[in-house]
Structure 1
Amino acid sequence: MSDTELLPKSKPEPVRRLEVFTGSGRRRMWTPAQKAEILAEIYDSGDTVSAVARRQGLTPQQLFGWRREAQRRASRAVNDAGAGHGATFAPVVVEEALPSLEAPVAPTEGSGPSIIEIVIGAATVRVTPGTDAATLTAVLRAVKAAT
């Protein structure tokens, strides 16, 4: 806005645009189903978030927030569902192998496949490449229950 526009004018100009707001002016409440439908429109139509927001009478920030929240909920649901299943991470400490008199260890060839050794109490589980996760999980649970 320039300085001259702030000065008083001799003749009042006619109103060019007039907006009338009706209603109580409260925030609109969206059900989760409505939010999901609007978010699906972004993916289905291929339009930008801004275009969908304009059609729905929203701000792009609202849609970005809804999308971020939906992604968080989806990742939480996947993590909660997979709590007892699938891959999980455990801390690993890599140490040099100490000679043990209790359990003889066969020497490994330098060019052969890598073997992972998991020690639980007095038990040692050797995992070769290609071992499926379900079998390994069952074995580790059995060893842990026995120790």
Structure 2
Amino acid sequence: MHMTVISGPERRRRWTATEREEIVLASFAPGAVVAEVARQFDVSTSLIYQWRRSAQQSEAMFVPAVATEDEGPVAAAVSGDVLSDSPAIRLELAGGTTVRIAATAPARLVMAVLRALR
């Protein structure tokens, strides 16, 4: 009787939260193709889509942030007034659109804007 013993890593791979985040961010990059990202990281495309859905449904989804110098006054979205030299959250969207939210904006307003941009 002949028996083959397969040794090495277990059949089911485990992905750390950091690895998942890296893969999901790569799949959301402008111009990224999920199939290519899957080949790059040697992971199933369906698993990437599952992780993406999970990340989008999460209330506490975070994205990388970069601190930059203020580029001038922040326009208030509601009244059209200009707030001089106030800190702000600046979001750069696809197509060159920029959304700025004053640091003094109420948390409920910030959450509403971020949910609308999802």
**Interval of TM-score (by shorter of Structure 1 and Structure 2):** 0.3 to 0.5
Report the TM-score when normalising by structure 2.
Answer: 0.42
Report the TM-score when normalising by structure 1.
Answer: 0.35
